[in-house]
């Protein structure tokens, strides 16, 4: 499977961001990508006024996603993109949509909300139900995670238990002391401990680090971007995946299952 990962600096204007996403889609389609992973917050990013996320949110049948659906019609590239979606109670969902040939093939709503390093995503965002989301792309099984989810190894393991061979991880990883190191370690660890590919897209710009990358099943970074907009490429190879799982049979050797039940938020506050 040919993978493209796009990163860009999202703005407050969804129409500008849609045009940027369309350009990245065009480049990915032209390059023969089976999968294109775009960042979290691709719809709109409010750096100084995060409360505006709710007013900017759009449903899955809103103009941003509809524009991407129309733009992908007649193509075979699956596009994973992040938006904020109204939750119906004044809050929003942090949502990933997987889009192919004019249709939505999968939807994931972020489970682990970024209540860390002084931030309070849960003040504005409602968590999803935690059901692992895995979909088929060019004969490969792709699992969906968003940003802060990558800090929770059980999330990735649940997706791999559900059949995922590739993890798509859109993100908007905030800058801070050692934060870029955290990102690299977590993305690499999720690939290595599950012997799977990880395609991680980071929003870049004034607030976030970018640093998109693709990591192979033995933890090797195949390609990465720095802090500027761009598109990177990698290939997921079936024989390479199988060989990695023969050499490092951690999935076969493990002794513990992951309990898929969701803990109430009051237990984790």
> pLDDT by residue (tens digit) across 120-134?
999 999 999 999 999
Taking alpha carbons only, the member of 81, 135, 86 closest to residue 106 is 135
The secondary structure element, H or E, covering residue 239 is helix 238-247
What mean pLDDT do residues 101-114 have?
98
Question: Does any domain span residue 262?
Answer: no
> Got the DSSP string for 142-172?
EEE--GGGGG-HHHHHHHHHTT-SEEEEEE-
What mean pLDDT do residues 73-89 have?
96
What mean pLDDT do residues 210-229 have?
98
Question: Does any domain span residue 268?
Answer: no
61: number of Cβ within 10 Å? 9
CA distances from 174 to 51, 152, 194 (A): 17, 17, 25
Question: Does any domain span residue 267?
Answer: no
Question: Does any domain span residue 260?
Answer: no
Check whether 266 has a pLDDT greater than 70.
Answer: no
Domain that holds residue 91: 2-255
Question: Does any domain span residue 120?
Answer: yes
Q: Is 110 a catalytic residue?
A: yes
Tell me the pLDDT band of 47, cut-offs 50, 70 and 90.
confident
pLDDT value of residue 48? 82
Q: Among the options 21, 137, 147, 204, which is catalytic?
A: 147
Question: Does any domain span residue 269?
Answer: no
Tell me the pLDDT band of 50, cut-offs 50, 70 and 90.
confident
Check whether 32 has a pLDDT greater than 70.
Answer: yes
The CA-to-CA distance between both ends of the chain, in Å, stands at 40
Per-residue pLDDT tens digits for 154-184: 999 999 999 999 999 999 999 999 999 999 9
What mean pLDDT do residues 208-225 have?
98
- How far apart CA 145 and CA 193 sit, in angstroms, is 16
Tell me the pLDDT band of 269, cut-offs 50, 70 and 90.
very low
Q: Is 147 a catalytic residue?
A: yes
Domain count, the chain: 1
Question: Does any domain span residue 264?
Answer: no
Which segments within 14-77 are labelled E, that is strand?
Answer: 35-37
Residue 161 CB-density burial (10 A; 0-12 exposed, 13-18 middle, 19+ buried): middle
Q: Among the options 21, 110, 203, 204, which is catalytic?
A: 110
Q: Among the options 21, 40, 196, 203, which is catalytic?
A: 40
Domain containing 210 — which CATH number? 3.60.110.10
Tell me the pLDDT band of 99, cut-offs 50, 70 and 90.
very high
Question: Does any domain span residue 266?
Answer: no
């Amino acid at each position: 499977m040919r993978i493209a990962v796009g990163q860009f600096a999202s703005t407050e204007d969804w129409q500008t961001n849609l045009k940027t996403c369309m350009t990245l889609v065009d480049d990915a389609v032209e390059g023969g990508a089976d999968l294109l992973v775009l960042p979290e917050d691709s719809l709109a990013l409010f750096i100084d006024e995060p409360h505006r996320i709710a007013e900017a949110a759009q449903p899955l049948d809103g103009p941003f996603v509809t524009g991407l659906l129309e733009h992908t019609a007649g193509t075979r590239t699956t596009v994973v993109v992040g938006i904020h979606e109204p939750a119906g109670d004044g809050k929003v969902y942090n949502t990933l949509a997987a889009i192919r040939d004019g249709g939505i093939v999968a939807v994931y709503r972020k489970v682990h909300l970024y209540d860390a390093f002084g931030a309070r995503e849960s003040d504005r965002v409602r968590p999803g139900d935690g059901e692992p989301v895995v979909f088929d792309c060019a004969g490969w099984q792709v699992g969906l995670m968003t940003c802060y989810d990558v800090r929770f190894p059980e999330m990735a393991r649940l997706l791999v238990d559900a059949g995922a061979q590739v993890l798509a991880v859109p993100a908007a990883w905030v800058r801070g002391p050692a934060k870029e190191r955290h990102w690299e370690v977590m993305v690499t660890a999720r690939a290595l401990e599950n012997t799977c590919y990880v395609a991680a897209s980071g929003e870049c710009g004034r607030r976030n680090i970018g640093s998109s990358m693709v990591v192979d099943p033995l933890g090797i970074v195949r390609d990465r971007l720095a802090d500027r907009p761009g598109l990177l490429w990698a290939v997921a190879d079936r024989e390479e995946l199988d060989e990695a799982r023969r050499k490092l049979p951690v999935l076969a050797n493990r002794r513990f299952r992951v309990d898929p039940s969701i803990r109430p938020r009051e237990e984790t506050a």
